[in-house]
Chain A
Amino acid sequence: MSTVVPDGTAHTGLETLYREHSGWLHGWLRQRLNNSADAADLAQDTFIRVLLARTAGTLKEPRHYLATIARGLTIDLYRRRSLESAYLEALAQQPERYAPSAETHAAILDTLMAIDRMLDGLGPRTRAVFLAVQLDGLSYEKTGERLGVSVSTVRKHLARALMHCLLVEDA
């Protein structure tokens, strides 16, 4: 590239942040996760997030900021684990032996993570309608029978769910 702008301040800031707070963050996570290896991984990931955001030098309350990021990563970790175990269980119940490659497995989990995140904030009935129509491919009539609601209710909840998904993308 034509111009290279040294970013010394951000790096120095991050180094200070790491030196002063990484021990604290690791302890904070260990206390909550009850698992030292997970805590170490998430502490590392937290600093990588800070590095990518290039905000290290400008923080007023670094521990609050670090804890906010670490919290989000912890939630993601739980989300991923729950989806992975549900998916593996579903695979195990399939009659034919089907073993996806590591790459496919990771891509499927990413897809499930993304859909799961998108559905956060939907009510149980709206989510159920969305999943039945969009992922199971049921007709409105079949969906209504399965959930014990009218076709017009199915339409209403489907519209609500789709709108939610489109707006979440913007957030």
Chain B
Amino acid sequence: MKAILSAAVDWYVRLHDSSVDDATRAAWQAWCMADPRHAAAWARLEQLQGRLGSAPRGAAQTLENARRDRRHAVKALALLLGVGAVGWQGYRASPWSADYATRIGERRRLTLADGTRLDLNTDSRVDVCYDAGQRLIQLQRGEILVETAKDARPLSVRTVAGDILALGTRFSVRQDNGVSHVAVAAHAVEVRPSRASQVVRIDSGYSLSFAADDIGPLQPLAPAGQAWAEGMLVSVDWRLDEVVHELARYRPGYLGCAGEVAGLRLSGAFNLDDTDVALASLEDALPVRARRMTRYWVRLEPIGKG
């Protein structure tokens, strides 16, 4: 892949020249068409251009000024932190932002170019790649609900665990470490783990979990499992620690519960837009109270403790 990227870069440098001629353009087009990997490498260069395009006017000078100001600070800082210049350059925070993302506690509903509806749950990220041959939604993190629109091109969701091919349908995918959970509300999907040759069909009303090299058993769909798209969490005879674990996805920081109350059971519906209200209703319904150390640190404990 590196050699192909390098070839794409060479083409870019030639095409960007003010004296580029039609013969070069034609040769470049032939190169792009010759191999889908060529086209993919070229698409990455175009993506890069798109990102640079959102920089403000005068960004080049701003970046150079900031770097110059910092050079001095960095030397002092590197001494304090005990890292050299390598530490500075070796550190990278999260990679480039994906096409669509939500923060913790946020949800988004999108309509894609083909009319497909996509709901993003809390703390989720997707890259949407549509081209002439396919519609591909790459789930980087979190959970989505997909309601496909009719289109000649196949639609699939890709996770680290593998691909989920939609067969005209409404389904959700949740990514949790290396495991993908798929739940189908209408029609069917086909699941293809990336490192196994199996293909499993999930029909409406069923769900399953799979990893890159393993597929779990089919299970009946949990009641109201996709209610998050409407801003609700519905629990039917859940343990308290299950409810707390789910609510914690919608809150920044830590939300937990003490072992003594973890096994209490409850049924109910919670508004995901305000988890403080949800916590208050847990305090009403069960013999628990919320202990708050900071806004980001809440733990449910038995009443009368601490």
A62 at the interface (CB under 8 A from B): no
- A1-B172 CB under 8 A given contacts A132-B60, A135-B59, A169-B95: yes
Residue pair B59, A112 in contact (C-beta under 8 Å): yes
- Measured between alpha carbons, how far is A54 from B249 in the docked complex, in Å? 12
- A139-B87 CB under 8 A given contacts A6-B262, A32-B81, A116-B63: no
- The smallest C-beta distance from A118 to any residue of chain B, in angstroms, reads 8
Residue pair B181, A82 in contact (C-beta under 8 Å): no
| List of A residues within 8 angstroms of B183 by Cβ | 1-2
- Which stretch (B26-34, B64-72, B105-113) binds chain A? B64-72
A150 at the interface (CB under 8 A from B): no
- Nearest neighbor of A132 in chain B, beta-carbon distance: B60
A90 at the interface (CB under 8 A from B): yes
A117 at the interface (CB under 8 A from B): yes
Contact-size category for B: 35 or more
- The smallest C-beta distance from A132 to any residue of chain B, in angstroms, reads 7
Q: Contact string, B81-92, partner A, CB cutoff 8 A, digits 1/0? A: 111000111011
- Measured between alpha carbons, how far is A114 from B47 in the docked complex, in Å? 14
- Measured between alpha carbons, how far is A79 from B51 in the docked complex, in Å? 19
B159 at the interface (CB under 8 A from A): no
- The smallest C-beta distance from A12 to any residue of chain B, in angstroms, reads 8
- A159-B245 CB under 8 A given contacts A2-B225, A78-B73, A115-B55: no
Residue pair B66, A4 in contact (C-beta under 8 Å): no
- Measured between alpha carbons, how far is A136 from B57 in the docked complex, in Å? 8
A74 at the interface (CB under 8 A from B): yes
- Measured between alpha carbons, how far is A130 from B275 in the docked complex, in Å? 47
Choose among B82, B92, B294 the residue that contacts A117 (Cβ–Cβ < 8 A): B92
Choose among A90, A119, A120, A128 the residue that contacts B62 (Cβ–Cβ < 8 A): A90
- A166-B5 CB under 8 A given contacts A6-B239, A15-B254, A78-B77: yes
Closest 7 CB pairs of A and B: A131-B60, A86-B66, A2-B207, A135-B60, A2-B222, A86-B65, A82-B66
